[in-house]
Each structure stands twice: as structure tokens, then as C-alpha cells.
Structure 1
């Protein structure tokens, strides 16, 4: 959702179909899966509201296949009240059945309201008997984004079902559990308790875990996992909003927490909410452009999904660490395209003040609210089958780390220029390559872009936005910029790899060849700027204030082998502690969590531990 919407739920979903005929055509005889009341399942939030351009079930096949390959059991299909919702749900359900996936409806209460029990029940009834409908313990699974106070008995009655035949796991606040069968916690990012980045108060996702689990009293909990959050809509749309949540190492930290927490269900937020930059699905998945292409073009996140695969396996196995689920060496890296210091005020799409006397709590002029909680760093996760040496070069800064077998997390200072990565073992190069996207000192297409670029080694296939996903690219742009993907592809030589490159499917480069430079404020394109306003699909809405956010980092202690600069870097390997060498690494808390070790400049005072450490 572009605001806040529930996302990918993780839990083992083996789902049994009901016997009534499907509303949009039965897929015939299929092997389906049934989830018991105790199975662990993985879900992923999927935005129907950004899709009105799909014309058949086949248009959903690639999404279903890629999600299933990652270990995701079901898509939570977030819906509003658009005219195309029923048809697109039919396509999605049919594709899920054809691809042995499961789906369920998640009602978005930015568009629904609690008086609409008849409409909600009717929609549930339309798909309850479909072979792809997720059932848990024989009950039809349904979720929501918000909706506190909804009369679940009335919904079941409108669906023609006994209340006991419906498993309703909504995103209600924990104090509003009522008769719900479980709850989804939507807040997957560190925040201040008022739906913005920490500003003195830092609520974590782990705080939310505790609050929800306490309120549920043993009922199933759907824990959130999300890699990023950044949104930058200006006055060209009716849903203007401009803020970030600190997300630097969130994806790594949260998966570590999930394995310890071991909830019954887990939801990844999201598959395709491009507007808030927390998508893990491909850019080329067909969707409409609500204005997000300005910060999404050339910014694939496929690597986040690749990184999640072994964690999903470990989660379902009930393992406390991911190590035994890593089957091949892989490097996943991500970073923003520009430094925080870049000044784009004169050309940014959020350069104008809010025009109404009624304030918009989500709109900020210039740089997004919370930008100062983000670190100017390049982040690398090494998933290794045995120990090795990881080298990261960001512009003119090169640092080398010893990494253990298992999951390792590192970060190095962000520097303008080419970004290069390598893994060596026993003096032999295992993986090596340059990223397809450079870090630049000015502005990408004239705007503040705090989205992340994600790549992998081995490199994955090209993942460009499709034409429909670029239609609003030039709306309100003040810099001349071409509405086309500009990334190259991994050179044919590919990386040197001991693992099968097909195990990675995210964008990156696989050689030390020069890479394609990103578009900046002075591209060669002559594409004209449109002034047409962007329509507002039902997935775009003001967010609802959530309850909590992201978990405290659990990084590992790296062995820094060498560096070509004196700029400190943090990272980790194996299962241990995180070495902190500068206070800048501790944004936004400015304190060290348990497992952190201070190794700052000689004579400097160590950072304090959070809550007594």
C-alpha cells in the first residue's frame, strides 16, 4: 500500500480447496495444499490497487512462480474498491491455482469502512470456494489493513458462512483483538510511534512483536518483515507524502530476529508496493504508474527476495540460524544512489510548500522526513557455505573483511563512483563484479531519491520497468530525463562463481567491466515534461498510525583485513557481535544494543549501551 498496507505473510501454507465451483472458472484437477491449524506459513502482501492493466490469469503467472520458488506460500491480495478489483482478483486466484500457489483477500480500510460488512462478506463469498483460496484448519483465511471495530459475525453472515468457518487475521491494533482469530502487525520499520522516523522516541519491530503476542494470548501472530521504506510524492498527486523510515540493515536484522521469535505466520511487506519502496518483487511485474517510477526506475529489489530464500527455509524448519539453509555462496548488496548531502531543492518534486491551511502530516518540503536517520553506507550481506574474504570498493574506498560460513553483514562508507564487490577463498576468486549503478554526487533526475538499489553476485537477469510502469515518470519533473530504463546488463563473461548462477535472480553485474552510469540532472534525453495529474488508485492513501517498528540490529563482528581509507566501517560475520567504530553508525538511537562492541578512535569515549546494554 502506498501509505501503509499489509504485505507478504510468511507461514507454511498447505491449503485445501473447498468444493464449490470457482467464480471465475475452475482450473480443473490440480494438486492443492492444505494448511493445518499449526503449520508455519509465509505470506507476502500483493497490491491489487496498482494493477488494472492485466488481461488474463497468465499475466499473474510469473509473480506466482517467483514467489513460490522463494518459499512464499500465499499472496495477501490487498484490495480497495476500484472498478477492476473483482476481475483482477479472478485472474489472480486462477493463476494461483494454475501454479499451485494460494491467495487470500486483505481488505484495505483506507477504502473500506466498518459499515460495509455486506460488501466485505459478499467479496469473501465470491472466492471462498476457489481452489486457490487459503484455508487454515479448514477455515477460509481473510486479512485486512486496519479495520478495527469491524463486526466479524456480520461479515461471516453476509458471506453465507458460520463464524467458525472464517479465519480472520486482520491488522487491528492489539487492544482491539475482539473475536479475531489472529492479528497482523503491519509496522515493520523503526519509528517514533506516530508513523514517522525516530525523532527521540525509537519504537522497534520487536516492541511490536511483544505487544501483539501479549494481546493475542496464544492466538496466531502474523509478524511483519520489510526491507525498506521511502516515499516521495509531491503536489502533482492527491496523495502527497514524503518520508522515510531508517532501513539500512533492517532486512538482515529482522530476519535474524524472526528466526529467534519463530512466529506461526510471517508476512513480507510487500511484493509490489513501489510507491513506498518496500517491494521485493520484480520491476517488470505488470503494474500502473502512480508517480512512483521517478524513484523506482533502475532500482531493482530482486536481491532482497533472493536473500530471503534461505531464511524462509530456516524459518519453516524452526531453525534459530540460517547457516544450514545456505546452499550456495552469494553476495547481496544495496545502497542509495546519492549521498544525503546532495542538494536537489531547486528541481525536486517536493519543493513547494503544502498549499492548504489544513496540514498534511505526511508531506514535507525537500528532503524526506527522517532522511537524517539513514546512513551514507553501502550494505553487503554475504551468505557463505564456508569462510571467505569479502572485498567492497565504493568509489575510492576499499575495505576487505574476513567472513565466516553462514550469514555475514558488512557496511562501508558510501563514496561517489563505481561500486565493486568480490569474494575470494584460498587465494581464488569465487565471485567478483561491478554494480550496474554508480553512486553520484548530484540528483537522479533532479529529485531526492532515498530508495535503495539492490544487486547480487552471482548476478541475476535484467529487470526493467515496463511501459505502463513508466507512464507518469515525467509528470512534474523539472529536470529533463528519459522515461526508459537505463541500466545495462551483466556482461557476457559473468562472474567467477562456484555456485550455479541461476540460484540468484536479482540485478547486478558480473564482471569488472565499466558499468552504465545512472541518469542525473543533465541526461541527454529530450523527453518533454507532462503536467497531467496522476490518477489515484485505491492502494494510494494516507497511512494509518501504526503501533511499533523495526527490531534492534543483530550484526556480527567482522575482521577488517585492510582498507584504503581511514573512514571506519561496520559489519559482521557469523554469529557474534557488531563492531562500532563511529557514532554515525548508531543512527537513530545513538546507543549500542546488546552484542555491539565499541572500537572507536584511541582515547574516545565509548558510546553508551541502550537500556543499560
Structure 2
């Protein structure tokens, strides 16, 4: 693949970043602490062992200010991470559910800064946020009361230009812009703008597979794409080479971008109709390759050949689209931004082929060495989705494609499968 001058420059910028050496690049997954009510130590241990097996270095623990179970679950998370040699840090959610008391922020940081699980940079705790630019002036006080922190907030509402006016208060920035703002491809324009603005400060790049939410209580009903985002965004990580990557998310079922173990008790009631019984585990299959390549600064051999595939379970024009738009304030219908396609992402150390079928009917595709992606249209076919690699590895989707959705509503949350 030929690199453009701009792409080559981005690669060079990533490799020359003075903020972090290449062997210190880390990959974290965004973990919603607010969905852990009743979660046990063994639940935490399972999630951590699963994440480690995929090559993930730690969890960014998104925590709200008023969860009654927050202290208990935070303690369970740190203890489980300590036992497993895993890293965690708190991401203070300042975009939802009330205001943060500075005393609580300080208390949490001080309580865990000595933990072996606390991720640190320059020997001080790494701290992040979800939004909260109006809280910016309080971080200096937090630093003085905790002995120092390494602050990499997500203030994406400001954008790169707004971040430029806050550089004296932060050590880096995390961008939540993991999706295309308008229908079409996701570009790296925002990533490049952040890198340019931050200079030698750290850049944490957001990577996500999907986005669909439809929760009336929160006035949320939108979709973001593109549908090939999981492939596109990891390829972009290898172009940009950010200091950190944060996967959005491990367990946010309500926004359909979860890659972790499905836990029914953590799916809020209004999201069950589109997230319950819809596995995304297969997405993790690509992580050992991409994470190893990202950390090495060059593509490595495929450690686990096979394929991951995803699809919606009914044609987009069958059933009620629920008024879902593209983006939170968009006017484009979400159904106009999706296609009736089975997407197959292949990983192979040689050129090979993959056979994709719906209800026993399909076609064979030639795929390139490394990571490739192919697309097979529904073409009115229904039934079981099956993917077979030339090497014999095969997988079957957890749900069939049907002509009309069971509950009458279009589900924009894809089913994900993988080969054995």
C-alpha cells in the first residue's frame, strides 16, 4: 500500500512524539463503572482476564459523581487489577449525572495512587475525564492536593482549537471523535489537528466499532458510522501512532459499542431490545495483531488467523426505523447511512480466500495477506450467516438474517461473529 505524503508525515509525527516512547504506548478500554451495580470480584476478574488476553493494557474507569455503589465497585476494580497485573485509572464523567465535588476527586486519586494497578506516567497517577471543560480551573488544586497527576481529559466539545487555549492546564488530550460526524468515511482530520495542537503533549486516540443508542429517558436516538469503522479506525491508529489508544467501549451496551463480555444485568432496560443477546466478543479477535503492531511501530505477523464478521439481522427498509437519525442533531435518516451487507474482516499471513453465505447461498472472495475486509450484500437472502476461511476455520452468526424484524423495529446494533 502506498502512503501519501500526509499519511507518511502523520506516521513520522507519531514515532517522533516526545511525550511517550514507542515501548510505552498503551491501549485502554473505556469501562462504565455506572453499569456495575451488583458486580462481583469474580466478574471483575473475568473482564480483566478477557481484556488481557486481547492485549489490552487497562481500563479507563468512567465514573459518575453520585453512584451509591461507586466507591465499592472502584475498590473491587483496583483489587482485581492488582491481582492480575492489570492497569486502571479513573475517568471522571463530567458530562452526566451531577457535579463533582473536588474533595471526592482528590479522595479517590489519593486512595489509589499507591496501588500497583494505578496507571502512572512520570510516576504520578494518570487521570482522565469525559467532558468537563468548565471544571478546567479546578485541576490545579487537585494537583496540589494529590502530589501531582498526569491529566489527559476528553474535552472534545472544545475541539482542537478550544484545547489550544487550555494547554497550560493539561498533560494531553483524549478525543472522543471516533466516528464520522456526517455520513461517509471517518477521516483522520481531527486526529491530525489534535496532534498539531498538542505538540509534545500526549494524544489519546478514540477507537470504536459502532454507535447506536435509542433511550428515551436520556433523549438519545441516533446512529454513527461508518459500518466498516472497526477496520478503518485500527488502520488509522497505525497511521497516526498516538501516544495512547482508548477503545470505546468495553461495556456501554446502551450505545452499542461494547467489545467485552455481554452481561445482561448491566444492560439498562430501554437498551435490552437492541443489545440483549447481541454478542460483540468477536471484535476482540483483531486486537492482538493491531495492538502488537501499534506498539512495535510496524506491522507484525498475524498471531491468530481467521475472520470476524458483523451484520444487522434484517433489511434496513423492513420494519420501523424508530426515527433514528445520523448523529444527535442530524437530519439524515440513519437507514440512509447503512447498507444491507455482511462485513467480513480477515486476518491471514498469506493471500487466501473466504466463503460467505446467508442461508447456504453466497460467494467466495479473494483476500489479501494481512488484514482485509470484504462485503457481501444480503440480496434478499435470509437465514444463517456462515463464514469459512480457506484454511478451514469457520464461524456461524449468533442470529439469522430475517426478512422482517421480530419486534417490527430496525436494529442498528450489529451481531458480531468470528471463526474458530
TM-score category (smaller protein): 0.7 to 0.9
Post-superposition offset of 1:433: 4.4
Question: Where does 1:234-273 land on structure 2 (aligned, <5 Å)?
Answer: 234=216, 238-273=217-252
Q: Is 1:206 matched up with 2:188?
A: yes
Q: 1:54-65 alignment to 2 at 5 Å?
A: 54-55=39-40, 57-65=41-49
Which residue of 2 is the match for residue 99 of structure 1?
84
The alpha-carbon deviation at position 116 of structure 1 amounts to: 3.5
Relative to 1, partners in 2 of residues 1:418 and 1:100: Cα closer, same or farther, differing over 3 Å? same
Per the normalisation by structure 1, the TM-score is 0.60
CA separation in 2, counterparts of 1:407 and 1:36? 26
2:8 counterpart residue number: none
Distance 2:390 2:43 in 1: 41
State the 4+ residue runs in structure 1 displaced beyond 4 angstroms.
35-38, 112-115, 361-365
Out of 353, 358, 371, the position equivalent to 1:389 is: 353
In structure 2, what is the Cα distance between the partners aligned to 1:457 and 1:230? 25
Question: 1:418 and 1:403 mapped to 2: Cα distance?
Answer: 22
- Is the Cα contact below 8 Å between 2:395 and 2:417 reproduced in 1? no
CA distance in 2: counterparts of 1:308 and 1:372, whole angstroms = 30
The answer as to 2:128 corresponding to 1:143 is yes
Q: What does residue range 8-27 of structure 1 map to in structure 2 within 5 Å?
A: none
Q: Determine the structure 2 residue equivalent to 1:314.
A: 293
Cα shift at 1:253:
1.0
The count of aligned residue pairs is 388
Partner of residue 68, structure 1 = 52
Report the equivalent of 2:310.
334
Provide the rounded CA distance (Å) in 2 between the counterparts of 1:96 and 1:309.
Answer: 20
Q: Structure 1: which 5+ residue stretches go unaligned?
A: 1-10, 12-34, 193-197, 352-360, 459-613
By how many angstroms is 1:141 displaced? Answer: 0.4
**Structure with greater proportional strand content:** 2
| Contact preservation (8 Å) 1:416, 1:441 | yes
Contact 2:343 2:374 in 1 (8 A): yes
Contact 2:315 2:403 in 1 (8 A): yes
Deviation at residue 100 of structure 1 after TM alignment: 0.8
Q: Post-superposition shift, 1:362?
A: 4.4
Do the aligned partners of 1:51 and 1:288 also contact (CA within 8 Å) in 2?
Answer: no
Quote the RMSD (CA, aligned, Å).
Answer: 2.6
Answer yes or no: is 1:184 the counterpart of 2:174: yes
* Distance in structure 2 (CA, Å) of the matches to 1:434 and 1:105: 37
Counterpart contact for 1:63–1:285, Cα < 8 Å: no
Question: In the superposition, relative to structure 1, how do residues 456 and 260 fare at CA in structure 2: closer, same or farther (>3 Å)?
Answer: same
Structure 1 position 456, deviation (Å): 0.7
Distance in 2 between the 1:447 and 1:36 partners?
48
CA gap of 1:141–1:222, structure 2 versus 1, over 3 A, is: same
Distance 1:88 1:143, change over 3 A: same
User: Given the alignment, which residue of 30, 34, 37 partners 1:52?
Assistant: 37
2:404 equivalent to 1:442? yes
Structure 2 unaligned spans of 5+: 1-13, 15-19
TM-score by length of 2: 0.86
Match of 2:386 in 1: 420
Alignment CA distance shift 1:67-1:53 (3 Å): same
Contact 1:36 1:137 survives alignment (8 Å): no
- Mapped to 2, the partners of 1:213 and 1:45 lie a distance apart of 21
Pair 1:401-2:385 in alignment: no
Work out which of the residue numbers 236, 242, 266 in structure 2 matches 1:287.
266
C-alpha displacement of 1:407: 1.1
Structure number with greater Rg is 1
Structure richer in helix, relative to its length: 2
Distance 2:353 2:188 in 1: 32
